[in-house]
Amino acid sequence: MKDTMAVQAQTIAGEFFQEQVRSSYPIIGKGFVNQVCLVETERHKVVVRMNNKVHYPTFIKEKWCIEQAAAAGIPGPYTLSVGVKDELAYMIQTFVEGDNGLDSKVAPTDIWRKLGEYARRIHSIQVTGFGEELIDPIQGTFHSPPHPGSDGSWKGYVQYNIDSLTERDPLLELGVIKKRESKIVRQWFEQLQDEKFRFGLCHGDISLKNTIVHPTGQLILLDWGSAEVTVVPHGDVIHLMGCQLRGEGPDTEQLKAFLEGYGMSMEELGLTRHLLLLKAFDTLRWAMDKRPDQVNHYAGSAKQVFNMVSDRFRN
């Protein structure tokens, strides 16, 4: 029996092109969040990405980011259509020939150096606001939904995490930090609140798995689902540092190559580790509210980040 996902992708592509579908099959691996299929019709070869219909705004955001990135000189697939069918949000994109960055024969450091160049261009794209939700494609305005304790702004985000550092903080019971350490973290976060950061668009998931090396050598950047407006260049760098802590790369030389491509050194990043801790703590608090099944996982990650930041601070 043909895979259900492939059948759904076949129907979506067939209706869009009004052509007979010759083949369709899932693309497995590479850490995709969405269901991804390659579909070939009589005259076209495309990638169909699918997810629950609540992800439709994310696909719209991805389409916008890909177009803005292309205008900034960053190659990516072309988005042919975004829509909803039978409770599924979908995105149809042109198929890009080449090897995934994880499998390419090109040296990983060379790919990371190019990704550093791309990140610098991404951070120069004109945007406003703060957060992961694109609410105005015309103005490039992003938004973070307010929640109890935060109005959704950058300052609200930081203040919420400061105010959460109380004597009854669940992070104490989870063993992430001790009471005396909580006071130190508060000082670090208050320092962030006083900083004048620059805000820009971040890809949010820069990695080898989200690249394709075209036969011509051109590097294609994929998957903008985690894109957000936040502090730059720190936003994309803290993602890479988080990946390092999880053992997913980039390694030290690859991160150095990324920074070289961007045109900066780690010394220039200043408060990046404190920003990484802020994100780790905020994500854990989100999990406590929305995903209790993931609390232990995120608590372990938050403790790991705190230990890294503390060790660096002591050294």
**Where a domain ends, among 95, 122, 149?**
95
Which tens digits make up the pLDDT trace of 148-200? 999 999 999 999 999 999 999 999 999 999 999 999 999 999 999 989 999 99
Cβ proximity of 268 and 208 under 8 Å: no
Place of tokens 């620059």: 198
Q: What CATH number does the domain containing 282 carry?
A: 3.90.1200.10
DSSP designation for 78: P
Domain check: are 250 and 143 in the same one? yes
Domain check: are 199 and 269 in the same one? yes
Beta strand 88-94 with 79-85 is antiparallel
Report how many domains make up the chain. 2
Domain check: are 204 and 86 in the same one? no
Q: Of 207, 271, 211, whose CA–CA distance to 239 is shortest?
A: 207
Domain check: are 175 and 278 in the same one? yes
Domain check: are 193 and 282 in the same one? yes
Average pLDDT over residues 277-292: 96
**Where a domain ends, among 95, 124, 147?**
95
From first CA to last CA, the distance across the chain in angstroms is 60
pLDDT at residue 4, as a whole number? 85
pLDDT at residue 28, as a whole number? 78
Domain check: are 284 and 147 in the same one? yes
Q: Which helix (DSSP H) or strand (DSSP E) does residue 180 occupy?
A: helix 179-194
Domain check: are 44 and 173 in the same one? no
Dihedrals phi, psi of 26, to nearest 5 degrees: -70, 145
Domain that holds residue 25: 4-95
Q: What CATH number does the domain containing 72 carry?
A: 3.30.200.20
Cβ proximity of 201 and 230 under 8 Å: no
**What confidence category does residue 315 fall into, taking pLDDT thresholds of 50, 70 and 90?**
very low
pLDDT at residue 1, as a whole number? 35
**What confidence category does residue 32 fall into, taking pLDDT thresholds of 50, 70 and 90?**
low
Domain check: are 66 and 115 in the same one? no
